[in-house]
Amino acid sequence: MQLSSLGAGCRCHVYLIAEARVLSNRGSSGERKLMRHMLLVSAFLWTVLCGAGGVVRAEDGPVDFERDILPIFTRFGCNSGSCHGKQAGQNGFKLSLLAFDADFDFDALTKEGRGRRIFSVDPERSLLLTKPTGRNPHGGGKRLAPDGPEYRRLLAWIRGGMPRRVPGAAKLERITVNPEQEVLSPRQTRQVQVTAHYSDGTSKDVTRYAQFQSNEAAIAGVDDSGRVTAHGVCGEAAIMARYMGEIAVFRPTIPLDGEVPEKFYNELPRKNFIDSLVWKKLQRLRITPSQECSDEKYLRRVYIDIIGRVPTTAEAAAFLSDSKPDRREKLVDSLLEQPEYAEHWANKWADLLRPNPYRVGIKAVLNYDAWVRRAFRQNMPYDQFVRELVTARGSTYRNGAVTLFRDRRDPGERTTIVTQLFLGIRLECARCHHHPFEVWAQEDFYSFAAYFTNVSRKGTGLSPPISGSEEVFFTTAGSSTMAHPRTGATLSAKPLFGKAPDLDGETDPREALAAWMTSKENPFFAKVMVNRVWADLMGRGLVEPVDDLRATNPPTNPELLDALAKDFQEADFDIKALVRRITASHVYALSSLPGTRNVQDTRNYSRHYRQRLRAEVMLDAIVEITGVPESFSGMPPGSRAKELWTTRIGSLFLDAFGRPDPNQDPPCERTPDTTVVQSLHLMNSKNLYAKVTDSNGRAAQLSGSKRTPQEIVQQLYLAIYSRMPDSEERIIGRGLFQKKGISRRQATEDLMWALINTPEFVFKD
């Protein structure tokens, strides 16, 4: 550019730069000080005079910091959690995670360190440009090409005076992806286009600056450019596109090769809407379901699922001899009315709600456990169950539900557990920064936490675990507010979405919160509960993890989740009715054995997914099979494992098989994983050996009876597997009694031990 082509102000600016450089090279200390002043003046003149004629423009229009600059940092990973976006920043430079705080980022670039990252006098020498282009040492390596559009845009922004906001600039409202859904063949590729939509009605292709991620990379992967590749695994994936805090999802479907006649799906049994919606999904994927399971498998499955134990030999024999067509439905009805139903399902919820005894005291834990069990014995509607927990007040000695607030003493902790358990929203990330995979910001977290700020207590506070002194929780009058930890702004109590209820300062604000949570208009409340129950019964949630409902983690069968939630609401949140609905479906009764067209399916319920027995269920089953009770410290004789009110009651067996650690904070849900430790424990357990060989146990009684070896074999199979042995198993079993040097009792004990140490016993299928 010729000097003559510049305006007077710009020519003055160039002259000042030239003079400053001369002084910096050979001037005295006083002259160098003068040089620094000249540079500052020159920077001011450059900004005012050169930028006075209008807003500087990039290649496609005026450069706006939020719209045009921040996406560059996200595109190249500069503000990711592994670089400058992490909590402490990187090498003295910190940006907000994924550009969620534009004001913070603007200050970090233009003001922090006295503006050393931007050299407005000579923009091309700015660290913001020299480091990512490799001209200066950069821990992140070379990120920008000097001739690339991002470099030119950053340079134009600096030359234009680094405006924070272009006057009248439109705001980003949402993004969309094209296509939204598509059926792909294995190894087929598809480019996803991301479009940003602004408040002024304009739109812009932002695919280059979007981030992409697949939730099922084995089914369909995606590269940094948004190119999706279908792999050889049948199923559906969710390809997340994220741009400047907005999210959209592309759902590719990859069906199996080969056609399946429509008639096949039309003729599948349909006992209720569950079957219809599962068959519809399987037809889209060209997956065929397994056959219906046998009565023996169904019997053991439904006993374990509903009441948490295996059937007795008498119960098994009675059901297997029943030929009535409605025998399964009647069995479910009878199990739902047994007291063991409440114990089993209360134990599941105790995992999620059980407080840390070191923090709340043993008596509070006992009262808490008793409250949960009483709720399930009364078949308390789920919405009432949650309301009583969220609004609990009174003494920890008299109202077990209030122990939740003794355990979670901070409004933030209460927010985390309430949103995750009862809404399926993992809000913890938003405590520190904008949620990277969702719409929730810090403001949402602390506005929700404000509902709990008026909860006060009197008592001794934290106390030794044995004494567990009483505390009384109550609500104080006044506004429900919290301060934003970063801005200091006062945030009033507000739900995560929808209209905020009016709070009068006198009524407990938690009442309004509970009403909003349990409302039938709340899209999360019913869904997360039916998803939990579905996962318990079917081996896998429609959404996994079960408490992580979000747009970027969609359900495998959205229509089914919606239908189950609606049915649950219409049944007035009756958990028993939900269990009955699921277990009455043909899908629930499918065999776990795969066929040729569903062997790879692990998420669409074309077969029953095997689950390892819960620790308490397995130990109680061993007690039932051997006829020898387990002894638990501090519990009455004959107590079952599922009746334990705290996980601090010692049991090596329960710990080996995944009982949650009460000292872990927050407590984790159980995993169905099997481990070598579990196998070794079952094979070498002195406790199991003592039960099998007990002189008053089942093995001793059977061997001492007048039963034939074949009858003993049948009784053991019926007790352990809830079925009769097949012909080969009978031959092998009888053979144990014919071995030389082995007594009748030893043979009985050996067979019992061997049958317990098999996958058929350890798993529910």
Examine the domain organization and report whether 507 and 570 are in the same domain: no
Examine the domain organization and report whether 489 and 351 are in the same domain: yes
Last residue of a domain, one of 465, 487, 518: 518
Examine the domain organization and report whether 368 and 491 are in the same domain: yes
Q: From CA 418, how far away is CA 427, in angstroms rounded?
A: 10
Asked whether residue 290 is domain-assigned, the answer is: no
| Confidence check: pLDDT of 669 > 70 | no
Q: What is the mean pLDDT of residues 459-467?
A: 54
Q: What share of the chain is helix, strand, coil (3-state, %, to 5)?
A: 45, 10, 45
Residues linked to residue 253 through DSSP beta bridges, in sequence order: 183, 236
| Confidence check: pLDDT of 47 > 60 | no
219-263 pLDDT, tens per residue? 999 999 999 999 988 999 999 999 998 999 999 999 999 999 999
Q: How many CB atoms lie within 10 A of CB 648?
A: 18
Examine the domain organization and report whether 564 and 632 are in the same domain: no
Q: From CA 282, how far away is CA 265, in angstroms rounded?
A: 9
Report the CATH number at residue 203.
Answer: 2.60.40.1080
Examine the domain organization and report whether 623 and 648 are in the same domain: yes
Asked whether residue 265 is domain-assigned, the answer is: no
Asked whether residue 275 is domain-assigned, the answer is: no
Residues with Cβ within 8 Å of residue 387, at least 6 apart in sequence: 514, 515, 518
Q: What is the mean pLDDT of residues 42-61?
A: 43
pTM reported for the whole predicted model: 0.87
SS (H, E, C) 142-156: CCCCCCCHHHHHHHH
The per-residue DSSP string of 503-548 comes to: --SSS-HHHHHHHHHH-TT-TTHHHHHHHHHHHHHHSS-SSSSTT-
Last residue of a domain, one of 200, 224, 254: 254
Examine the domain organization and report whether 450 and 416 are in the same domain: yes
Nearest to 392 by CA among 510, 499, 236, 490: 510
Examine the domain organization and report whether 366 and 449 are in the same domain: yes
Q: Which domain holds residue 681?
A: 615-764
Asked whether residue 267 is domain-assigned, the answer is: no
Examine the domain organization and report whether 110 and 17 are in the same domain: yes
Cα four-point dihedral sign 628, 633, 639, 640: negative
| Confidence check: pLDDT of 495 > 80 | yes
Last residue of a domain, one of 101, 128, 159: 159
Output the CA torsion 250→256→258→264 (10° steps): -100
The residue assigned the tokens 């080996």 is 656
The residue assigned the tokens 């994936």 is 237
What does pLDDT average to over the chain? 88
Residues with Cβ within 8 Å of residue 321, at least 6 apart in sequence: none
Asked whether residue 280 is domain-assigned, the answer is: no
Asked whether residue 284 is domain-assigned, the answer is: no
SS (H, E, C) 415-461: HHHHHHHHHCCCCHHHHCCCCCCCCCCHHHHHHHHHHHCCEEEEECC
Vertex 621 angle, CA 615 and 625, to 5°: 150
**Cβ atoms of 280 and 306 closer than 8 Å:** no
Examine the domain organization and report whether 537 and 635 are in the same domain: no
150-204 pLDDT, tens per residue? 999 999 999 989 999 988 889 999 999 999 999 999 999 999 999 999 999 999 9
**Cβ atoms of 281 and 557 closer than 8 Å:** yes
Q: From CA 347, how far away is CA 361, in angstroms rounded?
A: 19
Q: Where are the alpha helices (DSSP H) in 704-758?
A: 709-721, 727-737, 744-756
Examine the domain organization and report whether 532 and 486 are in the same domain: no
Examine the domain organization and report whether 608 and 619 are in the same domain: no
Residues with Cβ within 8 Å of residue 296, at least 6 apart in sequence: 316, 320, 721, 722, 723, 724
For residue 590, the 8-state DSSP code is B
Nearest to 653 by CA among 627, 631, 626, 628: 631
289-339 pLDDT, tens per residue? 999 999 999 999 999 999 999 999 999 999 999 999 999 999 999 999 999
Q: How many CB atoms lie within 10 A of CB 705?
A: 13
Q: Which two tokens stand for residue 294?
A: 């046998």
Report CA Rg, the chain: 33
Backbone angles phi, psi at 560, to 5 degrees: -70, -40
Q: Which two tokens stand for residue 671?
A: 């995993």
Look at residue 53 in the predicted model and tell me its pLDDT.
Answer: 34
705-739 pLDDT, tens per residue? 999 999 999 999 999 999 999 999 999 999 999 99
Look at residue 747 in the predicted model and tell me its pLDDT.
Answer: 98
Examine the domain organization and report whether 233 and 122 are in the same domain: no
Q: How many structural domains does the chain have?
A: 5
Q: From CA 749, how far away is CA 373, in angstroms rounded?
A: 37
124-133 pLDDT, tens per residue? 999 999 999 9
Look at residue 598 in the predicted model and tell me its pLDDT.
Answer: 96
Axis crossing angle, helix 411-423 with helix 525-538, rounded to the nearest 10: 60
Residues linked to residue 591 through DSSP beta bridges, in sequence order: none
Residues with Cβ within 8 Å of residue 730, at least 6 apart in sequence: 710, 713, 714
The Cα-based distances of 324 to 320, 321, 327, 329, 738 in angstroms read: 10, 9, 5, 10, 40
Asked whether residue 348 is domain-assigned, the answer is: yes
Asked whether residue 166 is domain-assigned, the answer is: no
475 against 709, higher pLDDT: 709
